[in-house]
Structure formats: structure tokens, C-alpha cells
Chain A
Amino acid sequence: MSVSVDTGGKGGKKSVNADLNLVPYIDLLTCMVAFLLITAVWSQLARLEAHQKGQGQAGEDTPPEKQFKLVVVVNDEGFNVVADQDQQPLPKKGTEYDYEKLGTELKKLKDAHPDKTDIQIASEDQIKFEILVKTMDTALTARFPDLSLIDAGGAGI
């Protein structure tokens, strides 16, 4: 188990052929492969953060009544973006929810209120989890990192 390095020594001199001992290297590789295979994590999963606090609750100095309220209501008809007193319904495109339009609207609101970081996603009972995740993902893409997932009945809209 060796590799010889021939440098062409000849003419009565001592040969300069050297054998590289590869046994320790192969041992090390085998041990590393075994260890890494045992500790390998094959399922790559992650998390989407959400809170259950309402806007203007603990830890915030601004009184709730003075805060700019931003809520995305998810119902069977589509989205309804509620920004304080203004409501912007975003109906479905056929049977699919219009996430692109929602993203555009949220980005406009973010540009208008750059300090605003929190948003509420208010869902009705029959909405599937996948739709909620996509909606939250769209809100995160629009740079609203403080997400709250609440019941549409409790959103007060």
C-alpha cells in the first residue's frame, strides 16, 4: 500500500525512490467517512417565525391607538390588506391567491412606512395552512419580520 516517487537516481548512487505510506491517510479517511455518515442529517427543515402577540402590546412604548395598523385578512375570496382605515381587497386569480399583487401592495406600504416592521395575518377558519405559510412568506419578503398569525374574528375588522 504505497506510492513510489522515482526521481531517476542512478550511476552507483543511493536510490532516491521513496515510498509514501498511505495507510494512515486511508485510515483517517475511513474513520471520517464513518463518523460523517453516522451524524449526517438528510432531511433539511427550517422554521418560519410567528408570534401570537397583538400590535402595541408589551415592550412597545407607543400607545396602541397611535400605531399604524397593518393587517392582511385571508378569506375565501382572496386577500384584504387593511392599512389603518384603508382596505384594499385583492381577489383571487381564478382559483389561486394573488401572492404577487399582495407582495407589491405590501412593498408599497413598506416604502411609505419604512419603520413599520410588524404585520398581522388574520385568517378565517377554513383557510389551509399552505396558503397561510405562503402569505407569511410574502410578508417576510416585503420586509415585515414581526409576524403575528391571528383569527380573523379577533382582528376587529
Chain B
Amino acid sequence: MPIKAPHAHLFDSVKLEVAKAKLGHLGRKSLYAPLNLVAYIDMMTMLVIFLLMSFSATGEILFVQKNIVLPNAQNWADLERAPVIGVSRDVVTLDGSQVATADELMKDSSTGDFKITELHDKLVTLKNNYKLLHPGEDFNGIAIIQSDKGVEFKVLKKIMYSAAVAGYQNVNFAVVPKTKGAPGAP
């Protein structure tokens, strides 16, 4: 078999008809298929617009606890950063850590003192920490009570009293905002 110098194009020496036809585009449709991106870009644009509309610069201040059902309110204000006192039917928490149980709070105090010692002490610590970290600012005394809608005022007043004694005079209640004129509006 004689030795031949390699051709410039291997194409001419290949005998495969199908490959030849494909590589040479001999009357066949091109292998390059344009990818239609219009629908993809439309979808992405809509998604960005929706997410921008629901964007909140303050971030997530309150996490909804699964055992707390919040009441609705029409007249509401935006949340602020403050200690969060969670009040469910079973337990009272401050920033996620338990400070009292509902059973304890439902009992009538023999001394008539409403103060919840653990809650009070932790709130005082938080207040002192705030004053240390923000020396030039006035302490606003805001605490957020995130209470279940079935909790009785008997429990709430002890919490409010403890907060007031600790220096948190402005108590805000977490609610689910409701637009005016919605069904069930007062």
C-alpha cells in the first residue's frame, strides 16, 4: 500500500455518506438551532418585578411561631427592632427563650405582685445592653408582644406590668395587617 501524503481535508477521504452530507451541509438543514430566549427573559423579568415589589428593606423582624395565631388589625404601623415577647397558650418567651409558663401566670399571686421575675431581669439586661451599645441615643422603651389571640388579659397584664417595671413603657402588639374594608372588619 503506497504511502500518501495527508490531504488538506480529511473530508475528501471519508467515505461515509451520512457524515459527508452532514459536514458538508449538502442540502440538509443546519445543525445550528437558535434558542428562543424571549419566553425565558419575560419570565425572569416578571419574577424580578414581583420580588422587587415585595422587597422589605427592614428584613424579617418577627418570625411567626407555629403555636401563635395573631389577630388582624386595620390600623397598624411598621415593625421596629425591639425585644419580642412571645405569648402562646402554654408558654411565654423572650426572644425565643422561655421565661414563664401560662399555668404559672394564670395562678393568682398571693402577694398581689404581677412581676414575672425572669422576664423582668432579662428585659433589664437588654435595656442596659442597649444603653451601653448606643450611648448617645435615648432609650425608646419599646417592646413587642407577639400574643396568641386566645390569650386572656390576665396573662397579658402581668407581662405588660413586668415590661413597664423594667423600663419598657411602650408596648406594641404584633398583628396581621388587614386592608380597610376587608370582610370581618370592625
A126 to B29, CA, bound (A): 81
Is B62 touching A48 in the complex (CB atoms < 8 A)? no
| A30 close to chain B: CB less than 8 A | yes
For A126, list chain B residues within 8 Å (CB): 152-154
- Secondary structure at the B interface, as helix, strand, loop or mixed, is mixed
In chain B, residues 142-186, which have Cβ atoms closer than 8 Å to a Cβ of chain A? 144, 147-154, 156-157, 160, 163-164, 169-177, 186
- Is B30 at the interface (CB under 8 A from chain A)? no
Residue A80 at the chain B interface, CB threshold 8 Å: no
- Which residues of chain B are near A47, meaning CB under 8 Å? 76-80, 144, 172-175
**Are the C-beta atoms of B41 and A29 separated by less than 8 Å?**
yes
Contact: A137 with B74, CB < 8 Å?
yes
Q: Is there contact, CB below 8 Å, between B153 and A130?
A: no
Residue with the greatest number of chain A CB neighbours at <10 A, chosen from B60, B163, B164: B60
Number of A-B residue pairs with CB-CB distance less than 8 Å in the complex they form: 155
Q: Mark A119-146, 1 if CB is under 8 A from B, else 0.
A: 0000111111110111011101100000
Residues of A within 8 A of B147 (CB): 129
B75 at the A/B interface (Cβ < 8 Å)? Answer: yes
**B150, B153, B172, B176 interface centre (most CB from chain A within 10 Å):** B153
Provide the B62-105 mask, 1 if CB < 8 A to any CB of A, else 0.
Answer: 11100000111111111110000000000000000000000000
In whole Å, how far is A27's beta carbon from the nearest beta carbon of chain B?
11
| Residues of A contacting B61 in the complex (Cβ-Cβ under 8 angstroms) | 45
- Are A133 and B153 touching (Cβ within 8 A)? no
CB distance from B19 to the nearest CB of A (A): 28
CA distance A124 to B44 in the complex (A): 54
The contact of A32 among B48, B60, B154, B163, by CB within 8 Å, is B48
Complex CA distance for A25 and B147, rounded to whole angstroms = 46
Q: Which of B55, B64, B156 contacts A40 (CB 8 A)?
A: B55
Q: Report the separation of the CA atoms of residues A50 and B37 in the bound assembly, to the nearest whole angstrom.
A: 54
Give chain A residues whose Cβ lies under 8 Å from the Cβ of B3: none
27 chain-A/chain-B pairs, Cβ below 8 angstroms: A3-B37, A26-B37, A33-B51, A36-B51, A41-B59, A43-B60, A43-B62, A44-B176, A46-B79, A47-B80, A48-B77, A49-B77, A49-B172, A52-B170, A53-B169, A99-B186, A123-B157, A127-B153, A128-B150, A128-B153, A129-B71, A129-B148, A129-B150, A133-B149, A136-B73, A140-B74, A141-B75
